[in-house]
Each structure stands twice: as structure tokens, then as C-alpha cells.
């Protein structure tokens, strides 16, 4: 991803976003660890950033390194003590099994467009559209992810553009058109305005 090119393009298209981009340093960086990123997206489903961070820190303290093998070595009770719900325990164990049994091939994603990649990722139990988009944005660094199911993203749009929350479908369509083909970069900056910590999956 050419971050500077994306910033230049967006700054010419959107004056408000241009001001926001000048306020924040840093950029989107991939961890290059698909299992880690997908696990973190499961942990982050439908909870606050603070809650997700708390669960993740407890999980890391038990595993040291997050791998499919380490996850399957933990009992359901171990995961529950970390803060996992019964449903999320099923999801993360199923994901670990899929990686170990090679039922899931990350390399296939590079031949897919965003929608096809989301469909492919969603074949994993517990990985829906939001988790798939987080993975494509943070792990694969796809350029044009526009996560309309992300609460923080929607709150940021409402805050920065002085709109009612949640923004209407009409406004969201307009923002997607305005920011394409660099919606991922715009999204990253929107998050920066509502969370002092850099979001990373």
C-alpha cells in the first residue's frame, strides 16, 4: 500500500479528512500473522476496545505466542478465565483446527476481490463480515475496505462530519464514493479520532 499516495489523493478529495490526517502520525502496518489477526478479530467482536484488550492480554499471558497449537492446548475453562464467551470459545477453537488441518488457505485471497475474499473468510465458524473486513484491512492491507458494521468507525464519521449517529445509508454511500479507492486509509484515520491508541489486528 502506498500510504503517501493515498493521503495525497484523500486530502484533495476531502478537506475535513485532510485536516485529520495532518493531526495524526503513523500508518497501517500488517502483522503478517494471519492466525493472530483472525483470533484478535474474534476477540473484538461486539465488545468495546477496552474489553477486547483485556481479554487479549490475558490470552497472551497464557499462550506467550498465539498459535493454533497453543490455543488448542488451552481448556475451555482456561479460555473462559481469559474472558471468552462460550460462543467465542467455539469460534477460536474451530479456527485453530482449520489452520492445523489446512482447511483454510490464506494464499488464495490474493486472487480474490474484496467481496469474494470476505465470502471465503466467512466460511470459518464465527468469522463474519466485520471480522473478515478487519482481517483484510489489517493483515492483508487491502486498500478499499469500508467497514459499515464497525461501531467506532460509524461514531467517528458522525463526530467528524457532525452527523446524527448512526450515519444514514445515503451518507455512507457518499463517503465510500468519496474515499474510494482508499477507504482503508480513511477508515484508519477515522479510528484515530475516537481512540488514542492505534488500532491493530
d(CA 68, CA 124): 14
Give the domain range for residue 44.
34-123
- pLDDT at 30 (0 to 100): 84
137 within domain boundaries: no
State the total domains in the chain.
2
pLDDT at site 198: 77
* pLDDT for residue 50: 87
Nearest to 40 by CA among 26, 59, 27: 59
pLDDT at residue 8 in the model: 97
pLDDT at residue 158 in the model: 98
Whole-prediction pTM = 0.90
Peptide bond into 166 cis (omega under 30): yes
| Domain-located, residue 129 | no
Claim to verify: residue 116 and residue 182 sit in the same structural domain: no
- Domain termination site, one of 66, 90, 123: 123
Q: What are the average pLDDT values for consecutive 10-residue runs of the chain, which has 201 residues?
A: 93 98 91 92 90 95 94 97 96 96 91 97 94 95 96 97 97 98 98 85 75
Would 94 be classed as within a structural domain? Answer: yes
Cα separations in angstroms, 77 against 51, 72, 80, 184 = 19, 12, 5, 37
C-alpha to C-alpha distance for 13 and 161, rounded to whole angstroms: 14
Amino acid at each position: 500500500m502506498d500510504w503517501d499516495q493515498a493521503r495525497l489523493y484523500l486530502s484533495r478529495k476531502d478537506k475535513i479528512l485532510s485536516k485529520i490526517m495532518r493531526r495524526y502520525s503513523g500508518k497501517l502496518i500488517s502483522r503478517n500473522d494471519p492466525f493472530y489477526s483472525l483470533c484478535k478479530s474474534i476477540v473484538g467482536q461486539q465488545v468495546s476496545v477496552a474489553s477486547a484488550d483485556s481479554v487479549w492480554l490475558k490470552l497472551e499471558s497464557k499462550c506467550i505466542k498465539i498459535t493454533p497449537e497453543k490455543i488448542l492446548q488451552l481448556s475451555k475453562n482456561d479460555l473462559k478465565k481469559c474472558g471468552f464467551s462460550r460462543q467465542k470459545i467455539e469460534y477460536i477453537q474451530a479456527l485453530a483446527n482449520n489452520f492445523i488441518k489446512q482447511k483454510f488457505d490464506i494464499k488464495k485471497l490474493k486472487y480474490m476481490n474484496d467481496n469474494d475474499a470476505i465470502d471465503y473468510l466467512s466460511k470459518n465458524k464465527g468469522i463474519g463480515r466485520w471480522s473478515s473486513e478487519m482481517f483484510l484491512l489489517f493483515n492483508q492491507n487491502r486498500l478499499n475496505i469500508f467497514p459499515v458494521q464497525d461501531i467506532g468507525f460509524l461514531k467517528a464519521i458522525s463526530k467528524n462530519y457532525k452527523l446524527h449517529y448512526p450515519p444514514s445509508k445515503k451518507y455512507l454511500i457518499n463517503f465510500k464514493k468519496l474515499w474510494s479507492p482508499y477507504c482503508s486509509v480513511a477508515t484508519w484515520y477515522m479510528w484515530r479520532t475516537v481512540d488514542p491508541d492505534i488500532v491493530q489486528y
